[in-house]
Each structure stands twice: as structure tokens, then as C-alpha cells.
Structure 1
Amino acid sequence: MGILAAILIVLTALLHVGFLVLEMFLWTKPQGRAVFRMTAERAETTWVLAANQGLYNGFLAAGLLWSLIQPEPAFALQLKVFFLVCVIVAAIYGAWSVKPRILLVQGGPAMLALLFVLLAS
């Protein structure tokens, strides 16, 4: 269970690194505009907000990766649960405020990871 939980945490972290890249560096580029279905004008007027959002996604990824290298088991568990719950809450809010699919794409791996983290503890 622990190895599967770690794999799912890495997957969740990598997704958030991908979100960081999309939101901070590709937002106004053709790739970013295609992913978020935006015009060049809209992307240009919202890039600062997107970059800020991307930075937060980077913090989530960093926290998840930190949880995997933390040598103290009890603290590592707390970090895993905290950062996975943060991702899940963000996914719930994104699903409610932007698009329901966000719950599956962003929240799905985090929910599975949290389940396996709890089963392994």
C-alpha cells in the first residue's frame, strides 16, 4: 500500500508541476491558450492571475515531494495528508467554480493517494 501511495503522490505532484508550467510559462503561448481555450487577448489580460495560481500549484507539488523525503514517519504522514487534502479542496473549488472535470483531473489522483496513504498508516 505504501508504494502505491508514494506513486500516486508523485503523480499528483507531477500534475501540479505541469499546471505550474502551463499557468506560469505557457499561459499566453499557443499551447496554454489551447489547453484553457482562451483567446490571445484574454490570456494577455489574465496572465498575472494565472502565474500566481501556477506558483501555488508549485507549492503544492513541493509539499507533496517533501512529504516523500521526510525521514520522520509521523511528520511525513502529516505532510502527506495535509498537502493531499489541500489539493482535494482546490479541486473541489475548481470543480464548483470553473469546470466539474477539474475534480477528476486534479482531485482524482490526490483522493486515491490519500486513500492509500491512510490505508498504509
Structure 2
Amino acid sequence: MHKVEELIIWKKSILLAKLTYQLVSELPSSEKFGLTSQIKRSVTSIPSNIAEGAGRNSQKEFKHFLSVANGSAYELQTQLILIIELNLIDKNKVQPIIELCIEIQKMNYAFQQKL
């Protein structure tokens, strides 16, 4: 078992969630049950699955939950790109969050290889 609070990938994914929640508060209210809801589910899934995996009894289980977290990160990245493509929020506000998301994806892959 790993102490989730000590995992840099978990800390960064918490930051990603915080920044993403702040970003989607700028989306139009017409997106409340569309992109906003979907994005919030995706971004909260990342640290949640890292935490769940850290609390499991085996490295194999942990790798599985890291894989699920990575899928959610790719889902989030796609949704953030959609925000830009639909001109809902300026690209300059969204791009740093996409870059953090990609950094977490790379960290996740490296962490899985290490386990």
C-alpha cells in the first residue's frame, strides 16, 4: 500500500481538478448538464482512482486503477480540446490545464512501468 498523500501524481491530479473546476465555472449555463458535468466527472475520476489503487492490496490492482485514471485523463483532455474548438473559453486559459493533464498522463505511464 502507498500513502496517497505522498504521491506526486495524486497531488498534481488534485491541482488539475481544482484548476479544471475553476475553468468550467466560466462555461455557459447551457453546458451545465453537458460538458460541465462530464468534465467534472472525468477530472474527479483521476485522483479518485489513484487513491483507490493506492489503497489496494497488490501492485497489480494499483496498476489497474492507474490505468482507469489514465483513461479519465485522456477523456478530460478531449473535453478540454472541445471547449477550445467550440470557442467556449479562450485557448490561452485552457491550454495550461491541457498541459498539466498531459504531464499527469506521462507520470502515470512511468509510474505504471515502475510498479
TM-score by length of 1: 0.59
User: Could you tell me the percent identity over the aligned residues?
Assistant: 5
Which of the numbers 32, 55, 73 marks the counterpart of 1:47?
A: 32
- The equivalent residue for 1:114 is 109
Unaligned runs of 5+ in 2: 85-90
Q: Which residue of 2 aligns with 1:77?
A: 63
What do residues 19-76 of structure 1 show as CA deviations (whole Å, max 9, x unaligned)? 57437xxx5xxxx32xxxx5xxxx2222222134213322333112111111222111
Structure with the largest fraction of helix: 1
**How big is the alpha-carbon RMSD for the aligned residues of Structure 1 and Structure 2?**
3.2
Aligned to 2:72: 86
- Structure 1 segments unaligned to the other structure (5+ residues): none
Q: Does 1:22 align with 2:22?
A: yes
Letter in 2 for 1:17: A
Q: Which runs of 4+ in 1 moved over 6 A?
A: none
Report if the CA contact (8 A) 2:42-2:76 is conserved: no
Alignment coverage as a number of residue pairs: 101
CA gap of 1:65–1:20, structure 2 versus 1, over 3 A, is: farther
**Alpha-carbon shift at residue 90 of structure 1 (Å):** 3.4
Contact 2:50 2:66 in 1 (8 A): yes
Larger Rg: 1
Q: In structure 2, do the counterparts of structure 1 residues 112 and 47 end up closer, same or farther at CA, with 3 Å as the change threshold?
A: same
Matching residue of 1:56:
42
Question: Residue type matched to 2:104 in 1?
Answer: P
| Residues 90 and 69 of structure 1: CA distance in aligned 2, closer, same or farther (over 3 Å) | same
CA 95–47 in structure 1, closer or farther in 2 if over 3 Å, else same: closer
Equivalent position amino acid for 1:59 in 2: S
Deviation, 1:89, is: 4.8
